[in-house]
Each structure stands twice: as structure tokens, then as C-alpha cells.
Structure 1
Amino acid sequence: MKEKKETVILDDYTNWVHRFGRIGALIAILYMMFIPIAIAVAYDSFPPLSAILKGGIGVMALFIPIGISEVISYTPILGSASYLTFLTGNILNLKLPCVLNALKLAKADQNTPEGDAIATVAVAASSILTMLIIAIGVLLLVPLQPLFQTEFVKSATSYMLPALFGGMFLGILGPEQGSFRIKNKLLIMIVPVIIVSITVITGILISGLEGVAILLMLPIAIGIARVLWKKGIVHVVANEVKDN
């Protein structure tokens, strides 16, 4: 009886999240489309269709593959938090590290009700904090401008992204939290890394085609993972539960 009640509550929560997530995504899309249309109407400055296509095709060629690859690769980790995550952006550099760290601290598994709830809270907290920091930054932009122009600040900011991605990679190398972990999972990335490295060195993969590279590497990584799983090289094992 208790399990049935918990299942009903979980189904109600899932339906609620998907319903409001879809409504929120639709409102956000309409809102983002309304702003440029409203400005164009107010100032009678509609650009010609040829100019829209000329400028938009290049942007779509870059961001459509990236958007598709992000949905495929991030949704299994984010769960229902994907709605809020894709609306607020900054997935790889902010939202995803926050979710992974929150799941690690809570010792929760991905694709579970607990992990889903924790991911949603982590993304919401990250979004609120980001907006507060941006607001403070806008207010202090002019007073702190001389500080931002100094050499040591410029040098420090050039290392921000490498430090962020380095920290994320170290997190992948570290022990996994939760009830289960994937053994030998890093073997899956060897072939995609070699292929991408060769294409970058030879100049085949140029700037702007990162999204295409991600889309091409996803099925390769999935295929390698399946082969290694079939051979028993990569498999899921239970984590040992340590009593405090």
C-alpha cells in the first residue's frame, strides 16, 4: 500500500514537472521571439529576408548541432531539471558542474527520483545566484573598471575556462558517489578523443564545427560503450556502503 502511494506521488510530480516545463519552455520561446519583433515594429526596421537568411544560416549551422547534442548528452544527467537548465543556459560551465557536485554531496544516483529532485534544486540555486552576481556586476561595472583593466586580472580570467574544465575532468576521474558506479568508463572516450585530436591537428575540424563533431562522436561513443559492455570490460558495479 505504501509503495503504491509513493508511486502515485512520484507520477503526480513527474506529470507536474513535464506540464509546467513544457509551458515554461513555450512561454520563453514566444518571449524571445516577441522582443525582436516588437522592436522591429516599434521602429519600423524589419530587415530583409535575404539578410536574415545570410546571417542566420551560419548561426544555425553552429548552434543546431550543439543544441541537439546537448539535449541528447545532458538530459540523462539533468532529468526534469533539463527544462530550467536549457532555459537559463550556461550548461557546461555552470549548471552541469553544480548538478554533478550536488549529486555527489547528496550521494544520490542519476535517473532516480532523489537525483531528479536534487538536480532541479541545484539548477534553480545556480540560476538565482547567477542572476544576483550579474546584477551586482552591472551595478559595479563602472566603479571596478580600472581593476578589470589591470594585468593580473586579465591573466587570471584567461585561465578560468581551463581551470573549470580541468576541475570537471578531475571530478570524472574521482570516485563516483551513489549506489552504483561504472567501472572502466574512461575507456569509452579513448577513440573519440583520438579522432577529434587528429582532426584538430590536421585542420579538418575548424572553429565553428564543434557541435557537428559532438554529434558525430556521440554514436561512436555509444557504440564503443555497447561493445565494451558486451565484452564485460565496462560494467556497472555496486558501491560499497560505509557505515559512519
Structure 2
Amino acid sequence: MDNREFNEIWNKPVIKIGMITVLTGTFMSFLPCFYLYFAHGIIPNIPTILKGWGMIASLFGALYIVEPISYYSVLGLAGTYLSFLSGNISNVRLPCAAMALEATETKPATKEAEVVSTLGITGSIITNLVAVTLAAFIGTALIKILPPVIADAFKNYTVPAIFGAVFGQFSLKYPKLAVFGIGIPIILRLTTKLPGWVLIIASVFGTIAIGRIMYSKEKKVEDKNVSA
């Protein structure tokens, strides 16, 4: 299947459906606000709204740019729409998409990867919906009966453990790039006093730039070997 055919069969419908569902979800997120305003006349003033948004943006603003770019090669187009609509990207969607590619031995950023990662993410959403529903009823009670040290471990180390597992998985495939992926944030952390969001941007785009340089060099070597 060439790029033109794939674009007609997959990309265009995905973009159309994705935009509708994401915009619908965005609109529905404001329904509680609309209810408070129209039913009770309650609405904060503009400075308060901007202040609240500024506090959130100062913590997560970098992710507005970093996450869509850095996750795209694994999530794909459809997976990106699905993941940003359903949430839990870094701790559920991304690992599931990565494992789907790993299990099927599919190369990231290909047409095949687009389909495979979408199937993996879709399965994770269905499973997550069931699990979250159960957790809403029994999860809190279970955490309460666990010893504090175990409960704290679940709360504090689950996400880092998942990130570490995903990093280890890709490190096996791209060991040279993994050195820079872990080295850049460590060096910046030890040698500078940059805020966390700057470290995230520098680490993600620095690794992408180095990966691009490494790819270009390997491509030149392959072209020379072919021409020879």
C-alpha cells in the first residue's frame, strides 16, 4: 500500500473522527462550568481563570509540546487521538503501544506500526475502563488495608517503574541512543539549576536531534555501500 492509498483509507478518516471526538470531549469537559453558570450564576472572573491556568501551565505547559512530538512515533496518528482523549498516556497507553510493537516485531513510525499500536491502545482503553471501574469500588479500600510503606510505594513509584521499563525495552533496541537519552537529563540535572520543564524539553529534543544525526550518518554509510 503506497502513501497515497494509506492516506485515503486511514489518515483522512482518522483525522476526521479524531477531531470530532476530541473536540466533543473538550466541550463536555466544560459542562460542569456551564451548569454552575447557567443554573447558579457562578463564574470566576477573568484574572482568576488566567491565574489558575497559569499555575497549571507552569507545571505541565512543556508537555503541551513535548508529549505529542515525543510519543507520536510509538502512538501513531490514531493512537495519539485515542490516547489524548482517554488519558493515562505515559503510564498505560504508551507502554501498551510499545509492547504491541514489540510483540509483533513491528518497526516504529511505519504504516504497520500505525495499525498495530492503535489496536494495542484500543485494547488498553477497554481493559482500563473495566479495571478503573473495579478500582473505583475496591481500590481505595485495598490501599487502606495495606501497610503504609507498601501503599506509599504504589503511589510514589508506579509511574517511574513504568517509565523505567519502557526505557529499558527501547534501550535494548537502540543502545547507542539510550546513552544520550539518559545522559542528557543526568548531566543537566547535575550541572545546572534549570527547572524541570526545561530539562524535559532539552532531554526530549536533544535526544531527537542526536537520533536524527545518527540516522543520517547510518543512511550515508548504507548509500555508499549500495553505490559501491
TM-score normalized by the length of structure 2: 0.81
Partner of 1:45: 42
Could you tell me which residue of structure 1 aligns to residue 206 of structure 2?
220
Which residue of the partner structure matches residue 109 of structure 1?
107
Unaligned runs of 5+ in 1: 177-181, 237-244
Quote the Cα distance in structure 1 between the aligned partners of 2:52 and 2:144. 35
| Correspondent of 2:180 among 185, 188, 195 | 188
Q: Secondary structure at the match of 2:43?
A: coil
Compare 52-61 and 183-192 and name the one that shifted more. 183-192
- Post-superposition offset of 1:225: 3.1
1:98 corresponds to which of 96, 99, 111 = 96
Aligned residue number for residue 226 of structure 2? none
Letter of the structure 1 residue corresponding to residue 114 of structure 2: D
Partner amino acid, structure 2, of 1:46 = I
Q: 1:166 to 1:190 in 2, by over 3 A?
A: closer
Task: Tell me if 1:21 matches 2:18.
Answer: yes
Which whole-Å CA distance do the structure 2 matches of 1:9 and 1:161 have between them? 35
How many Å separate the matches in 2 of 1:137 and 1:130?
10
Instruction: Specify the code of the residue in structure 1 equivalent to 2:210.
Output: I
Please identify, of 94-103 and 219-228, the stretch whose mean Cα deviation from structure 2 is larger: 219-228
Match of 2:122 in 1: 124
CA 1:215–1:142: 2 relative to 1, 3 Å: closer
How far apart are 1:62 and its partner, in Å?
A: 2.5
Identical columns (%):
26
Indicate whether 1:67 and 2:64 are aligned: yes
Label 1:13 to 1:54 Cα distance change in 2 as closer, same or farther (>3 A). Answer: closer
Deviation at 1:153, TM superposition (A): 3.3
Residue 133 of structure 2 corresponds to residue 147 of structure 1: no
The aligned counterpart of 2:189 is 197
* C-alpha spacing 1:226/1:14, structure 2 compared with 1 (3 Å): closer
Aligned positions, number: 220
Distance 1:160 1:221, change over 3 A: closer
Bigger relative contact order (CA 8 A; separation at least 6): 1
Q: Give the letter aligned to residue 99 of structure 1.
A: A
Letter paired with 1:198: L
Q: Which of the pair is proportionally richer in helix? A: 2
Q: Distance in 2 between matches of 1:21 and 1:69?
A: 20
Q: Give me the whole-angstrom Cα distance separating, in 1, the residues matched to 2:220 and 2:38.
A: 57
Unaligned runs of 5+ in 2: 223-228
Q: Is the 8 A contact 2:74 2:109 kept in 1?
A: yes
**Contact kept? 2:66, 2:201, Cα under 8 Å:** yes
Is the 1:108–1:114 Cα contact (8 Å) retained in structure 2? yes
Deviation per CA, 1:27-63, whole angstroms, max 9, x where unpaired? 1111112332223322221112221122221212332
Question: Partners of 1:234 and 1:92 in 2: how far apart?
Answer: 34
Cα shift readout 1:131-162 (whole Å, capped 9, x = no counterpart): 211111222256546424x3353254143233
Instruction: Give the C-alpha shift of residue 10 in structure 1.
Output: 6.0
Give the whole-Å Cα distance in 1 for the aligned partners of 2:12 and 2:58. Answer: 34
Q: CA deviation at 1:68?
A: 1.0
For 1:20, give the aligned amino acid.
I
